[in-house]
Amino acid sequence: MSHQLFIIINMLAKQLFALSQKRAAPLLLTQQSFSFTRSFRKILLLQDVENLGFQGEWAFVKPGYAFNRLVPEGRALFATDPAVEKVITDQAALKLKQEQRVLEVFLSKLKDIRIIFDRDVSEINKNVARTPVAAEEVLDSLNKRYNLGIKKQQFKMEQSLDTIGEHFVQATFSSEQFNKEFSFFVKVVIRQKKASTAEKRGKKNASANQEGDKKTAKEGK
C-alpha cells in the first residue's frame, strides 16, 4: 500500500469516525473536558494492548486501569516516569501496524457504502439481471472510487450476483504488504436499468405497428 493510498484511507476513516461521533461530541466536551486530566492518565505502551494501542503509542486511560493493570504488569509507563526517555520504539514496525489498523477500519466501513450497478432484466423474470455482477466489476468500482490499487488476483468475492436488490457480500483481500488476508463485507445494489428515450420510442412504435397490423388483418376479413 503506497504512502498516498495510506493518506487517502486515513482521511476517509477519520471522516467516517467523525460522522459517527458527531452527536456524542457535544456531551463529551461539555461534561468531561474540564476534568479530562483528572479522569484519565497519559501512558506510553510498552506492549501491544488489544482495543487500546500498539507498543510505542501514547494513550489515555482511566486511572484504575493504569495503576492496577497496565503499569504493574509492565505493559505501560506513566508519561511522567523518567524511564519514558529510555524507551526505544521500532518506528518502522509501529508505522506498519498503524497502516494496517487504518486499512482494517476502512474495510469495515465498506458495508455501509452502496456500490450500485444498473442491469437489463430478464424478460421472463424482472427480478433477475441478464448479466450477473462479477467480482471483477466490484473490485473495479472500489479501485476507481478509492484508488485502492488492489490487483485482480488479490481479491475474491463469495459469488456473482444477478438478483435485483441489495446484497451484503463477503469479500477477501490478500495483502502482500501486510502478509495477511483481510475479510470484509461490501454492499452491492443491483438496479433495473432504465430504458433510454430511443428504446421507449422504439417499443412504442413496435406496439403501434402491431396494433396496425391487427387492425388491417381484421378489416381484410
Which pLDDT value is given to residue 11? 61
Q: What is the pTM of this model?
A: 0.66
| Residue that terminates a domain, selected from 88, 105, 122 | 105
**What is 62-87 written as a DSSP string?**
-HHHIIIIITTTTSEEETT-GGGGG-
Which three cell numbers, joined as nine digits, stand for 11? Answer: 482521511
User: Does residue 46 form part of some domain?
Assistant: yes
Which pLDDT value is given to residue 32? 38
User: Does residue 78 form part of some domain?
Assistant: yes
User: How many separate domains does the chain show?
Assistant: 2
Specify the CATH number for the domain of residue 140. Answer: 3.10.430.100
| Residue that terminates a domain, selected from 51, 71, 105 | 105
Q: What is the mean pLDDT of the chain?
A: 81
Residue type, 202: G
72 plus 151 within the same structural domain? no
Q: What is the pLDDT of residues 24-79, one digit of tens each?
A: 333 333 333 334 456 899 999 999 999 999 999 999 999 999 999 999 999 999 99
| Residue that terminates a domain, selected from 82, 105, 128 | 105
> Which residue range(s) make up the domain with 83?
3-17+24-105
Task: Collapse the DSSP code of 176 into the 3-class scheme (helix H, G, I; strand E, B; otherwise coil) and give the result.
Answer: coil
Of 102, 98, 3, the residue nearest 45 (C-alpha): 98
9 plus 34 within the same structural domain? yes
pLDDT at 210 over 70: no
Q: What is the pLDDT of residues 153-163, one digit of tens each?
A: 999 997 889 99
User: Does residue 89 form part of some domain?
Assistant: yes
Q: What is the pLDDT of residues 102-146, one digit of tens each?
A: 999 999 999 999 999 999 999 899 999 999 999 999 999 999 999
Of 187, 147, 190, 191, the residue nearest 169 (C-alpha): 187
User: Does residue 34 form part of some domain?
Assistant: yes
Specify the CATH number for the domain of residue 28. Answer: 3.40.5.10
88 plus 119 within the same structural domain? no
User: Does residue 75 form part of some domain?
Assistant: yes
Which pLDDT value is given to residue 194? 84
Please give the Cα distance from 48 to 32 (Å, whole number).
27
Of 163, 157, 220, 215, the residue nearest 189 (C-alpha): 163
| Mean pLDDT value across residues 8-34 | 47
User: Does residue 91 form part of some domain?
Assistant: yes
Q: What is the pLDDT of residues 129-141, one digit of tens each?
A: 999 999 999 999 9
